[in-house]
């Protein structure tokens, strides 16, 4: 019998580099009964953007965060603040029409501008830097696609030029350049937004995982220790933990690997970069509490459907070391986001007639900083009765290609616990029961049910993050079964071997 997953010896701390450089927040947990006009579930960029916009308009807001402000999907993002999302405008014009492409550009430009304005207005120190964004190819045959994208971007009013090569230490065969884009530390930005929300009277609760959202006087949102009644509920949990129209089936969960290396001189990178070739690579500078970093990201893969996530890290590091001037590996992490069939997010009222006041946002296609800000603005502005021009494009209930979403299968089935090496995990079947088994480095076994608490799919072992990842809708559980990422709201059930 072969061992299903292999143990990787990865250096670097298994966490996002942004968290080390960001302030910690310590908001209380929800307890007792509360009321607000709007309750927002999730203190990432979408939820906090909506919250601040509503607070600025004098509205009453409560934000409920299951863990800590800004440290989940927002805090694991690449944190590029840009309207350049690879080769998208040519695609949107061709498939959805010029007006749709214009709306997408307007939304993301508004998101970019909002972040820059708020960072200044609220004095948020988040390592914000204005830089050009490059989308590059190393394949001369793709130069025409770069030129076509520049042309499409200009058609929707964005400043874009084609250059013969990207300013990178390896050869490229052409690049698209958008000037005046930006990058930052997204955790510190979220912390700053939370502080601004609180100053304007908004209430924020951390370690307050929502366990149910029901119809009450309008909406009643429950945590284990408290409840909130509100006219409006905004589910801003990356994948919605509840939605009247099933957002999980309208999307596909995708993850990617990210690594941050020590860098002696960050000034040699005058922009941030996205490779449009396959496999794609993303590159940007950053910093943590010890100094400058160079971040590289690998291509997306379907969450829970990859047998060797650790191998993806090793492959990414091997490429990075061959092409970039890197010091020691400092940080590495996986992040997850949801793709949509038409590459446009879902944000807004889920079901205006039957579920008034129920708002959702998801499906940012890995461009959640500008798109997430635009989504938060959209939801807040709809509540304020002044919806933006991109509301129709982002309609969460729009028709979609049902074949886009694929329920995957666990990639971690083993016949016996003897097939699981120290540090690895596997799923064994005992009678009718599927058990997720993690063998720690000392050889001790830790077991939980392998049945995802969202809709019952069997989880897969992520041998890099040491998590149980669901191949159906992207829920992620820690090795002890606790929820890291929804749509699941409850832990994997405890079980003994
Ligand atoms: Fe839906 Fe696991 S996330 S079944």
Model confidence over 126-184: pLDDT tens digits? 999 999 999 999 999 999 999 999 999 999 999 999 999 999 999 999 999 999 999 99
Ligand 1 atom closest to 455 (CA): 4
pLDDT at 7: 39
| pLDDT band at 217; cut points 50, 70, 90 | confident
Give percent above pLDDT 90 in the chain.
94
Is the CB of residue 489 below 6 angstroms from any atom belonging to ligand 1? no
70 — alpha (psi -120 to 50), left (phi > 0) or beta? left
Name the residue with the closest Cα to ligand 1, atom 1.
473
Is the CB of residue 455 below 6 angstroms from any atom belonging to ligand 1? yes
Q: Which of 106, 110, 169 is nearest to 136 (CA)?
A: 169
Residues 6+ apart with CB under 8 A from 200: 52, 55, 56
Ligand 1 atom closest to 473 (CA): 3
Q: Which residues of 296-322 are buried (b: 16+ CB within 10 A; e: fewer)?
A: bbbbbebbbbbebbbbbbeebbeebee
Q: Is residue 4 pLDDT above 50, yes or no?
A: no
Model confidence over 334-368: pLDDT tens digits? 999 999 999 999 999 999 999 999 999 999 999 99
pLDDT at 267: 86
- Across the chain, which distance is largest between two alpha carbons, in Å? 64
Model confidence over 30-55: pLDDT tens digits? 999 999 999 999 999 999 999 999 99
Q: Is residue 5 pLDDT above 50, yes or no?
A: no
pLDDT at 465: 93
Model confidence over 412-454: pLDDT tens digits? 999 999 999 999 999 999 988 999 999 999 999 999 999 999 9
Ligand 1 atom closest to 239 (CA): 3
Q: Is residue 285 pLDDT above 80, yes or no?
A: yes
pLDDT at 449: 98
Is the CB of residue 457 below 6 angstroms from any atom belonging to ligand 1? yes
Name the residue with the closest Cα to ligand 1, atom 4.
455
Give percent above pLDDT 70 in the chain.
98
Q: Is residue 12 pLDDT above 80, yes or no?
A: no
pLDDT at 10: 62
Is the CB of residue 459 below 6 angstroms from any atom belonging to ligand 1? no
Strands (E), 185-240: 203-205, 210-215, 219-223, 226-235
Q: How far is the CA of 486 from the centre of ligand 1 (A)?
A: 8
Ligand 1 atom closest to 459 (CA): 2
Determine the residue of 449, 452, 460, 468 to mutate for testing ligand 1's pocket, defined as the one with the most ligand atoms within 8 A of the Cβ atom. 452
Q: How far is the CA of 106 from the centre of ligand 1 (A)?
A: 34
Distance CA(429)–CA(432), nearest Å, equals 7
Is the CB of residue 473 below 6 angstroms from any atom belonging to ligand 1? yes
Q: How far is the CA of 247 from the centre of ligand 1 (A)?
A: 12
Ligand 1 atom closest to 474 (CA): 3
Q: Do 142 and 150 touch, CB atoms closer than 8 A?
A: no
Q: How does the average pLDDT of the chain come out, rounded?
A: 95
Q: Is residue 222 pLDDT above 60, yes or no?
A: yes
The CATH code of the domain at 31-77+187-249+342-383 is 3.50.50.60
Distance CA(249)–CA(238), nearest Å, equals 14
What phi and psi, each to the nearest 5 degrees, are found at residue 349? -70, 125
Q: How far is the CA of 246 from the centre of ligand 1 (A)?
A: 12
Domain boundaries, the chain: 31-77+187-249+342-383
Model confidence over 173-185: pLDDT tens digits? 999 999 999 999 9
Q: Is residue 15 pLDDT above 50, yes or no?
A: yes
Arithmetic mean of pLDDT, 272-289: 96
Arithmetic mean of pLDDT, 376-392: 98
Is the CB of residue 454 below 6 angstroms from any atom belonging to ligand 1? yes
Q: How far is the CA of 194 from the centre of ligand 1 (A)?
A: 30
């Amino acid at each position: 019998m072969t061992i299903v997953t292999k143990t990787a010896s990865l250096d670097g701390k298994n966490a996002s580099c942004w968290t080390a450089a960001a302030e910690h927040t310590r908001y209380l947990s929800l307890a007792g009964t509360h009321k607000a006009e709007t309750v927002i579930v999730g203190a990432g960029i979408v939820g906090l953007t909506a919250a601040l916009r509503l607070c600025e308009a004098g509205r009453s807001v409560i934000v409920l965060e299951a863990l800590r402000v800004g440290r989940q999907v927002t805090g694991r993002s690449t944190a590029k603040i840009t309207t350049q999302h690879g080769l998208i405008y040519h695609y949107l014009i061709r498939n959805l029409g010029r007006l749709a492409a214009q709306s997408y550009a307007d939304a993301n430009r508004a998101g970019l501008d909002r972040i820059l304005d708020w960072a200044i207005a609220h004095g948020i120190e988040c390592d914000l830097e204005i830089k050009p964004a490059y989308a590059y190819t190393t394949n001369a045959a793709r130069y025409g696609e770069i030129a076509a994208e520049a042309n499409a971007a200009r058609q929707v009013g964005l400043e874009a030029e084609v250059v013969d090569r990207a300013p990178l230490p390896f050869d490229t065969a052409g690049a698209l350049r958008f000037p005046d884009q930006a990058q930052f530390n997204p955790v510190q930005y979220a912390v700053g937004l939370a502080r601004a929300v609180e100053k304007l009277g908004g209430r924020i609760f951390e370690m307050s995982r929502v366990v149910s959202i029901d119809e009450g006087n309008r909406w009643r949102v429950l945590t284990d220790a408290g409840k909130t009644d509100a006219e409006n509920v905004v589910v801003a949990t990356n994948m919605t933990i509840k939605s009247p129209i099933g957002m999980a089936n309208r999307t596909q969960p995708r993850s990617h690997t990210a690594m941050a290396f020590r860098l002696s001189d960050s000034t040699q990178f005058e922009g941030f970069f996205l490779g449009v070739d396959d496999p794609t690579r993303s590159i940007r500078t950053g910093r943590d509490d010890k100094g400058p970093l160079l971040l590289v990201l690998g291509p997306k893969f379907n969450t829970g459907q990859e047998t060797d996530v650790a191998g993806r890290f090793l492959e990414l590091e091997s490429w990075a070391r061959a092409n970039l001037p890197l010091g020691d590996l400092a940080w590495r992490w996986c992040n997850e986001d949801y793709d949509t069939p038409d590459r446009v997010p879902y944000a807004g009222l889920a079901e205006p007639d039957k579920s008034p006041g129920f708002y959702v946002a998801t499906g940012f296609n890995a461009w959640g900083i500008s798109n997430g800000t635009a989504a938060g603005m959209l939801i807040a502005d709809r509540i304020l009765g002044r919806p933006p021009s991109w509301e129709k494009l982002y309609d969460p209930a729009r028709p979609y290609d049902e074949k886009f979403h694929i329920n995957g299968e666990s990639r971690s089935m083993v016949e016996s616990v003897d097939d699981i090496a120290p540090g690895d995990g596997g799923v064994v079947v005992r009678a009718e029961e599927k058990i997720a088994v993690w063998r720690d480095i000392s050889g001790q076994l830790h077991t939980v049910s392998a049945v995802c608490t969202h809709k019952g799919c069997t989880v897969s072992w992520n041998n890099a993050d040491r998590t149980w990842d669901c191949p159906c809708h992207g829920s992620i559980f820690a090795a002890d079964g606790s929820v890291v990422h929804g749509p699941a709201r409850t832990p994997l059930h405890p079980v003994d071997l």
